[in-house]
Amino acid sequence: MTGWHASDHLVTRYADGSLPESDAWSLEKHLECCGGCARRVSQAVRATGAGPVLAGIREAVLTDVRETARTDIDTAARTSLHETARTRIGAAARTEAYKATPAGAPGAAPVAVPTASPAHGPVSGAPAPARPAGFPARAARPGALRWPSAGPRTVRVLWALGPAVRGAWLPAVLLVAVGAVALAHGAGFAHARPWLLALAPVVPVAGVALSYGPHADPMHEITAATPSAGLRLVLMRTAAVLAVSLPLLTLAGALLPSTDAPNAAAWLLPGLALTLASLALAGYVGLRAATAATGGGWLCAVLGPVLATPGGPTDELGLRLSSYLGGAPAQGGWAAAALLSAALLAARRPAFHFLEKS
């Protein structure tokens, strides 16, 4: 138990149902170990219109529990008396039979050894009862899978980082980076950097799309019901995506021939701005639609005119990337876009409590 206690305003909002889900979950977790706050919340809820209804439900549940307990006690008492009487009768019969026939006499019947009974437990020296058919012995499973929270810290961290980092997205990022370096140095393709810079800003956007929601995470229903769900979890998984993609793709770009393309780090601010814009737009249209809009918009703006050019597409791509990524004015514009997206994301924070719930 900590020194923090729920304020009167927080208790009132919880009682009338106006408290956001994440705050309500955090308060309920605190009530498990704080009796004083639990009493205050209980009094506040009973004072609302739902109080009489909850009191009626509580009384009905308690009545049903009392009736069930009384029935179980009566049944257990009758069963215990029946088993005790049967055990005593059987013991008396075996004793009389033993007295009537001396041990070792010709034709004497073997004396039965008492075995386990439900009322008195196993008898020392009696053979173990056979397992009923259809119930095979439980085999030890030394390599059985366990819930990630019971494993090492590394497993728990990887699980929390989201489906993108532990799924197919990470091999795809590695394939893009290694493929670009292989084309440049293995196949002699000198214009690999412009194509890498054109695709790099979309890579973290795709990672964000694959990090949150029922379409990507089979544990989403459970994850969304925790106090850390919503914007906090989305930002944590976005940070994991950026921590993987930014250094990896920048290093791959630095290993490529420069030609006339911008430097290898020129895509960092555009990639960050597109990622934040996707998150800000997700508060309105959902994560999948937002990432499709921003990623698709970037590809159409950069690659659309290049693919439509009748001449060499690589030269046109280098010129277009220089206007989009090169120079202080372009980078300043991307920085301003990133700040604006971050401000809009902070303003839309309550919407993330209901993000991807359906």
159: its two tokens? 């699980």
pLDDT in tens, 119-163: 444 444 445 555 555 445 555 454 444 444 445 565 555 555 666
Average pLDDT over residues 170-192: 84
- Residue 184's pLDDT is 83
Question: Which pLDDT belongs to residue 158?
Answer: 56
Identity of the highest mean pLDDT range in 131-145, 180-194, 211-225: 180-194
pLDDT for position 337:
94
Handedness of CA 343, 344, 345, 349 (dihedral sign): positive
Query: pLDDT at position 77, please?
Result: 78
The per-residue pLDDT for 268 is: 92
Write the pLDDT tens digit of every residue in 275-334.
999 999 988 888 889 999 999 999 998 888 877 777 667 777 878 888 888 888 999 999
Average pLDDT over residues 239-251: 90
* pTM metric for this prediction: 0.57
The mean pLDDT of the chain is 77
343: pLDDT confidence band, cut at 50, 70 and 90?
Answer: very high
What share of the chain in percent tops pLDDT 90? 15
Given this model, what pLDDT does residue 113 score? 46
Q: Higher confidence at residue 57 or residue 272? A: 272
Task: Give yes or no for a contact between 36 and 5, defined as CB atoms under 8 angstroms apart.
Answer: yes
Q: Which strand (E) or helix (H) includes residue 291?
A: helix 287-308
Give φ, ψ of 205 to 5 degrees. Answer: -65, -45
258 — pLDDT class (breaks 50, 70, 90): confident
Report how far residue 24's alpha carbon sits from residue 43's, in angstroms, rounded to the nearest whole number: 16
Is 33 within 8 Å of 66 (Cβ atoms)?
Answer: no
| pLDDT tier, 101 (very low <50, low <70, confident <90, very high otherwise) | low
pLDDT grade for 344, boundaries at 50, 70 and 90: very high
Q: Cβ distance 261 to 318 under 8 Å?
A: yes
- Better-predicted residue by pLDDT, 105 or 300: 300
Contact 297, 291 (CB under 8 A): no
> What pLDDT was estimated at residue 336?
95
DSSP state letter for 309: -
Q: Report the pLDDT value the prediction gives residue 30, as an integer from 0 to 100.
A: 86
